[in-house]
Structure 1
Amino acid sequence: MATMAVAQRNYHRPRLVAAQLLSVALPGAFALFSHGGLEYGVMAVGALVLTFMIWRTALAHCLDVQEGIRKDQALNAQNQRFDAALNNMAQGLCMFDGDGRLLVCNRKYIELYGFSDDVVRPGIEFIDLLRHSVEVGNHSVADFDPLHDKFVEKMVSCESSTFLNELNDGRTIALSHQVMSSGGWVTTHEDVTERRHAEARIAHMARHDALTDLPNRAFFQERLREALVRIPARKQVAVLCLDLDRFKPVNDTLGHSVGDSILQQVAERLKECVRENDTVARIGGDEFAIIQSATFQPEAGKALAERIVSALGEPFYVGNQQISIGASVGISLGPQDSLDANQLLVNADLALYQAKAQGRGRYSFFVPAMDQQMQARRELEEDLRRAVVNGEFEVFYQPVINTHNEKIASFEALLRWNHPSKGMILPGNFIAAAEDIGLIVPVGEWTLRQACLEAAAWPKNIGISVNLSPIQFRVGGDLVRSVADALVVSGIDPERLEFEITEGVLLDETLETQTILGELRKLGVRFALDDFGTGYSSLSYLRSFPFNRIKIDQSFIRDIDTRSHALSIIRAVADLGTNLGMSITAEGIETAEQLEHVRSEGCSQAQGYHVGLPMDAEATSRLLEKSFPADDREAA
């Protein structure tokens, strides 16, 4: 028994057990053998056999204990790895048995909900855990019953599900639930608040303008379709399209940061003009659109348009800069004009085009005739593009005479379009379209070059004046280079070339415009202020830029015989020009009496149908040959 006890105490050291057994058995067996005799020999062998059997039993016990220890160690290591993995998960995890008692949960689960370690322990029932969640502020007490019912329905009746758990602190937890085959369930919990916010921001950005945070075109059309479905009887939905007047020059000259600030201010003013259930959207660039929800029309649409024109007509302030722009508005009504959202927007855009054609700060309602006009406009634009390619333009020349001797002083170059099917078209019918579609630059360059080439054959004292569009100062091309090239190619004296510019060129008196005018002046060309008297700031232009000639607008000439003040204005302008060292040209002279009036009031030059009609280059050459015989031409 003592030997067995020794073996048991040293089960983990089988060699030591063997040595101990042998140290006990071998001396006794040796003594028995040494005593001699058969019975002592048998006893010695039996002692050895017993020792061997004890050793085998001890070895087996040793191996069993060691195996048990290894299994315990392996299980403990596995549990440690499981705990490490469980507590290092990015998600919270909990497991309940079939009776709704907590089996296991990880550290993330406790932290996610702010649970107490003393309360949330294995064995707690699910309903008690939910009450604890209410206690720590995750849910309100009033929500407990519906919350419990929702969880029970998800956990018990469904094999698997994923749903969102909204907490009182604004966080959103996503729960993924799976029923276990042995009963109970396991859930994972993930805080998806930031992801949900990011998704919401992306969804918002997809439907809103980044600069103004207004709905974009796609969202606007979605809102419009919804509004058209819900129109009550005897009411209509109004769609207002508007764009800003004079915004592009401001954006180009003062910088995009200033332009962006103005657009943001425009958005705020528009929101102040509409009702809460109306929609304001930015549909591109400086274009905005509004859905005026169902109301009585056209009165409501008219009132809103007037508020918008008034609000956007007020100055804008960016830093220390005061900027005035304004807006034009087009309005269409549904279902009167259409029940299709896209068509209503098109109709409002057509009305906007009409409003802009009437001048700045106007509004206009859509009428069916506008669509026909737009179709004609598109046809005109296509014909214009073809005309540029095919060279269908021609320059006509109208004489300007000296009022003292009625001799030709110069000619004004006037563009004509020789349309293959419509005949000769005057510039008033196509110049605006050419400006809108960006063709005025190549057309203007061709007109300038052609006029200079044909004027090169005239007497040296006969000038040529060419009109410049405000667009030529803003869009594409290089005006100064074009003028320099025309002078070089034609060889005419720069002083014979004069540019007629209107208030539109100087209206946005930008550094770029001043630079271009200065560089043209350095080339030696002359300038005339056209249509003088029609702009509110014509006198300020005379102060800011040294013109060589003033052309009095023909509207004053027409009123000479009917309005006494017209003659007084002509007299005052003539005196002003004389004092400033400028020549004065009266436009629109149609009778001998008008010519006599302007001559007596001090106008040095006259132009109009009474003086001479516009004529082509060949007729102009014949007139000059008749007016300036060969000897006179040499002298000139």
Structure 2
Amino acid sequence: MVEKGDVMLKRINTTQPLRTLIVEDSEDDTLLLVDQLEMEGGRSVDWQRVDTEKALTEALQQHWDIVLSDYTMPHLSGMRALEVVRQHDLDLPFIFVSGTIGENTAVKAMKSGAQDYVMKGNLSRLMPAVARELEEAQQRRQRRQAEQRVRKLSLVVEQAADSVLITDPNGLVEYVNPAFERMTGYGRDEIIGNKPSLLKSGRHDQAFYHAIWETVTKGEIFSGTLINRRKNGELFYEEKVIAPLKDEQGHVTHLVSTGRDITERVKADEARAQLVAILEATTDLVAILDPDGCLHYLNNAGYRLLGFDPKLDLSKFCLTELFPERIKQQLQSEAWPIAYRTGSWSGETALRRMDEIEVPVSQVLLVHRDAAGKVEYLSTIARDISERKRFEAELQHQATHDTLTGLPNRILLMDRLSAEVERARHANNSVAVLFLDIDNFKRINDSMGHTIGDALLQHIADRLKAALRPNDTIARHGGDEFAVIAGDLPRSENVLAVLRKIYSAFERPMSLGAQEAYITFCTGIAIYPNDGADVEELLRNAGTAMYRAVIAGHNQYRFYAPEMNARSHELLTLETDLRLAFKRNEFVAYYQPQVELSTGRIIAMEGLIRWQHPQRGLISPGDFVSMLEESGLIMPVGEWMLSQACAEYKEMGLHNMRISVNVSASQFNDPGLLRKISRIMKQENMPSNALELEVTENIVMQDPAAAADTLKKLRTLGVRIAIDDFGTGYSSLSYLKRFPLDALKIDQSFVRDLTHDTNDAAIVEASITLGKKLGLEVVAEGVETKEQFEFLRAHGCDLAQGYYVSRPLSKIELIDLLQEERRW
């Protein structure tokens, strides 16, 4: 028996159940219907009973094979149910099954869209009625689909661009589409009932037409070109296909002719021969290309300009392959889109000959479309403008460069400074403008002559170019004044490195004919953005600073901002002292302990460099490391720090502890790094597992592939490797996973506020989790409070380093601390 309920049930497990929607208020009657369908139909029934309009509407969202409905129900009438079903699907079979429906009512229901009715007292009619309606529903759907296909095909034929003409087997026209009317000028009324011979032009003999008729009446397809005549008398060329339609017995019932007016194409073919002769005679390159841009034709001038062998297969070359890479990008991003949008593009490019020589050309690119708007082909014309370019370049150089020294003049100086200021504005950097006035130049010029003076200016220009960076601009500002633009300065103080290079370049004397002389300058310096936000203001203020330097005496420099003069003097003095510090052994090693959070014991320490200045006292790295990098001292000083840490590790008698040392970018990129570390470890008898090298995140991400190779080589020495300042760079997790790392150090900027900044706390927690997932030891830097310490301990961080544990200590102070055996 079928169990009661309003949901779909399935009693017989067959592959294709009959899906039946039953509109019935009586559950017992519903079960009787289902039993009857399954017993008589021999298949399972998926069914659902509904008795309200809402339930019916929701149920119709599913697929059903048939709907059975009572006629009289308390919540929904059978006629309303029929109306709802028909609004949803015109073809879904609908049968009334009722005990109250009369003959007149049944007729009304049938007229309203029901397929049949069955009395509840005579359910033996149910299954035959259902089977019949299912079959008829399928037929209705097939007829409807066929009708839709016919309508679509009719629309296609009516809207086709090609002409369509249909005749009976005797050649009498039965149908033409609008394209035929447009092509021939004849209307449907004029052509239907006539023969296509109405279009004869007299250009073909009778044998030609006889051959066509013989072909199609045999049931074969004719394809060819006809010269026909329009209604207005004009001749036109038609590309025609005539295909016979056959019935089931193979007899030809109709002939279908499709045609396309190719008059323009034929005329173009006739004109092409004349055009080719003209193209071959021109001295400009002319090329025709397919829509993909590959060569289809190249004239003789093109072969010569490109250095092509006349026997070369052009189809192997596309237009973009004839240009250097930069020009190719210009064409793809600018020329092609404009040409395809507007039909043409013109501009100056450069072709690349077969011998790799670039040839500047003035080029026009044209896109040719057919009548339907489809790109048919491309063409391009290119004229060699090498001579013009050489002349223009010479004029441009003369307009923007000093004739005597070859340096940029004031015009180009202002242009370059404008570009540097804009770049610095986006990068948040500084730009320095330096005006250099040669001391005593007038005396040299007057006493030794203008020839010597001119030669001196040329030599000065050469020395300045040799001393400064390629991206710095050196200009002759006029007379005995030079100007320098130094960009990409992270800090204002970085201009001192530029100033030092200039002064160093003139420490050697210069030849003045048979004599030698030392050349000095008075220099004025203005810095963007502090001393001016635009070009004119910066140049004006640099000039003002230079005049102050001139007033101060020979070989002086002055900043426009007074506070910079004192600061620069301090920095230059400090830099001079720094160069002597290494020779005088003024550097010392300090150590900051690292505590294991799980035990509270010191198990490691980081080696930190300090400068014991004879007058200034102990100087921290932040005040001099950047100078070490700029002066090139970072390499020997970094090597000293590593050697010192290893030596003092042995002197302090440390056991079961490790010491970490920072590796700078210059050291990391040093090809001899591996050899130097290996030598120091052997020399100091340093256990490999006791040494950890710290490399910042930004260093390894500059060239991840090369960094991975260097790290793997370092790992062969047995040393540990840690990523320092983690979270401040732009690490790719996929690279971090590939690097042979042992530890990552969370930067102190995240640790500092973690107890009252939820974002920092989340970053620290995520970093710890990431480290654990990658199998790395996690060290937190900058731990200054007990709350930070306990947070890190609670979240599974391995080590903590910072002033809460201890400030950096000298060797003696560290030994005293370790002897206390203190726990945190």
Superposition TM-score, scaled by structure 2 size = 0.36
The structure richer in strand per residue is 2
Higher gyration radius (CA) = 1
**Bigger relative contact order (CA 8 A; separation at least 6):** 1
> Structure 1 length normalisation: TM-score?
0.46
